[in-house]
Amino acid sequence: MSGTTVRVLVVDDHPVVRSGLVGMLAVEPDLDVVGEAADGQAAVDLAARLRPDVVLMDLRMPVLDGVGATAALTAGAPGGGPAPRVVVLTTYDTDADILRAVEAGATGYLLKDTPRDELVRSVRAAARGQTVLTPTVATRLVGSVRTSAERLTPREAQVLGLVAEGLSNAEVGRALFIGEATVKTHLLRSFAKLGVDDRTGAVTEARRRGWLA
Amino acid sequence: MSGTTVRVLVVDDHPVVRSGLVGMLAVEPDLDVVGEAADGQAAVDLAARLRPDVVLMDLRMPVLDGVGATAALTAGAPGGGPAPRVVVLTTYDTDADILRAVEAGATGYLLKDTPRDELVRSVRAAARGQTVLTPTVATRLVGSVRTSAERLTPREAQVLGLVAEGLSNAEVGRALFIGEATVKTHLLRSFAKLGVDDRTGAVTEARRRGWLA
DNA sequence: CCAGGGGTCCACCGGACGGTGGACCCACCG
DNA sequence: CGGTGGGTCCACCGTCCGGTGGACCCCTGG
């Protein structure tokens, strides 16, 4: 990082949120907002030019979402040089968002209801390479690690996804070129992993955990 | 309203969003942000004291949500006087949110991805009593009016809600003190109204339309 | 090598669900 | 007053789903 000031890039598709973040950070003398982007692709392009120390990134964005952009940024800058620290800043705290962001290489995960001073402190901490997590997120993260063996297999997720669309077992079978009995087996295994005992409960629970589109 | 300046109250539980809105509006000479609130109850209390012309209101908030606060505000100030115009400003654009907000008396409905200048114009228009709707919202609104005959009855919504929780027909029947056969009838009528033919599809479709919690 | 585990696949029952038909009550209206 | 319509309720079938048991394949490690 350049001297003692932290170079920050703000990425969010909502103008209101960008304005709020810039306003909150700009008054801090040691924080310097060097740019803004409205989608993930623009963020990656801008980061390559501006070389920020910290990227504040929303997850739900058009063109390229926050997870993809985070992965691209933490993979390393194309011209060499240090990769920026990515702090995810989102409204939601579902398991899937957290896991996907952390897997993509995010240094921090904050919710948008974070108060101003905590946000500022988090940006400074992230610049030093420290991991920053809101308590809610930390709890969910350890919870998901604890039950990590309970993830759905690709096939199970695929079947459950079609069931969520309202397809019957026979229809799912025809769609995937497998027998109806097989569809039922995948669903049963999904039920066990989700802790429910019927298809409707499975869909709502999977949706709650963010395992479904 | 007092002279030519518009008095605005900003209501959102996210500090970032409040900061962004204040920053966007404060630079306009004819707009005066007279206060901020972090939940619906605080908004109602503050509005009674500050007498704003326009209230920019989020929907998802603790204590008292945006719909309740909107209803309280548009019902009229306790000391008499004109009720403020409420402009709902939210992330989501589901039918239920729109309908509930409009029914509660909202003058406008904007999404948080609204660009800055459109937001400013909307606040001025709302102060004059004009209705402001984003195109997406307007489309959904006429769509929901068009299919207004297709709304679920209270009992049907109640049954479908329990089914969404994963309850079986028999369990729903016991919970509501009705026979299992009756539960099925309510579900079948729901299926017809939603254009689906099984419980899982009904739950996802109802959720998509915002007819479910 | 083969033993073990995870993932995917399938056949067979009992109970639950989707569908039809009809009853009752109440509000509205000619 | 009787008729009409909507909302809620229920009984009876045929079908589909939830549950058990077991097969196969691939990969990994002893």
pLDDT for A102-151, tens place per residue?
777 888 888 888 888 999 999 999 999 888 888 777 776 665 555 544 67
Average pLDDT over residues A18-46: 91
What CA–CA distance (Å, rounded) separates A127 from A84? 8
**Mean pLDDT for chain A overall:** 84
Structural domain including A199 reads: 147-208
| Segment A176-200, tens digit of pLDDT | 999 999 999 999 999 988 888 889 9
Three-class SS state of A9: strand
Best of A22, A88, A92, A200 to mutate (most B CBs within 10 Å, chain B) = A200
Last residue of a domain, one of B107, B127, B143: B143
pLDDT tens digits, B32-70: 999 999 998 998 899 888 999 999 999 888 888 888 888
| Distance in Å, alpha carbon of A78 to nearest chain B alpha carbon | 31
> Is there a domain that residue B124 lies in?
yes
Verify that A133 and A65 share a domain, yes or no: yes
**Range scoring the smallest mean pLDDT among A16-20, A187-191, B100-104:** B100-104
B17 shares its domain with B110: yes
How far apart, in whole angstroms, are the C-alpha atoms of residue B105 and residue B88?
10
Determine whether the distance from the CB of B193 to the nearest atom of strand D is below 7 Å.
no
Instruction: State the DSSP string of B31-51.
Output: EEEEEEESSHHHHHHHHHHH-
Q: What is the pTM of this model?
A: 0.75
Average pLDDT over residues B140-162: 73
Q: Is the same domain home to A161 and A73?
A: no
User: Residue A90 — pLDDT band, cuts 50, 70, 90?
Assistant: confident
Instruction: Please check whether residues B129 and B35 belong to one and the same domain.
Output: yes
- Strand D neighbours among B 130-189, CB < 7 A: 153-156, 173, 176, 178-179, 181-182, 184-186, 189
Residue A90 inside a domain? The answer is yes
According to the model, what pLDDT value does residue B12 have? 93
**At which of A114, A143, A172 does a domain end?**
A143
Contact assessment for residue A83 and residue A76, using Cβ atoms and an 8 Å cutoff: yes
Q: Is the pLDDT of residue B104 over 90?
A: no
Q: What is the pLDDT of residue A143?
A: 58
The reply to whether A111 and A72 lie within a common domain is yes
> Helix, strand, or coil here: A6?
strand
Give A80 or A73, the one with higher predicted confidence.
A73
Together in a domain, A138 and A156: no
Read off the tokens for A144.
Answer: 């998901």
Considering the domain architecture, whether residues A191 and A115 belong to the same structural domain is answered as no
Instruction: Confirm if B59 and B88 have CB atoms less than 8 A apart.
Output: yes
Looking at the structure, tell me whether residues A159 and A135 fall in a common domain: no
Q: What pLDDT is attached to residue B80?
A: 57
Residues B115 and B11 in one domain: yes
Residue among B204, B99, B65, B110 at smallest CA distance from A208: B204
Residues 59-88 of A with CB under 7 A from strand D: none
Chain segment B157-207, per-residue pLDDT in tens? 899 999 988 888 998 999 899 999 999 999 999 988 888 888 898 998 888
Query: Out of A115, A165, A203, whose CB is closest to B15?
Result: A115
Question: For position B39, which CATH number holds?
Answer: 3.40.50.2300
pLDDT: which is higher, B119 or B77: B119
Beta strands in chain B (DSSP E): 6-11, 31-37, 54-57, 85-90, 108-111, 132-133
pLDDT at A2: 47
Q: Phi and psi at residue B54, in whole multiples of 5°?
A: -130, 135
The answer on B137 and B60 residing in a single domain is yes
The total number of structural domains that make up chain A? 2
Q: Is the same domain home to A39 and A111?
A: yes
Same domain membership, residue A117 and residue A38: yes
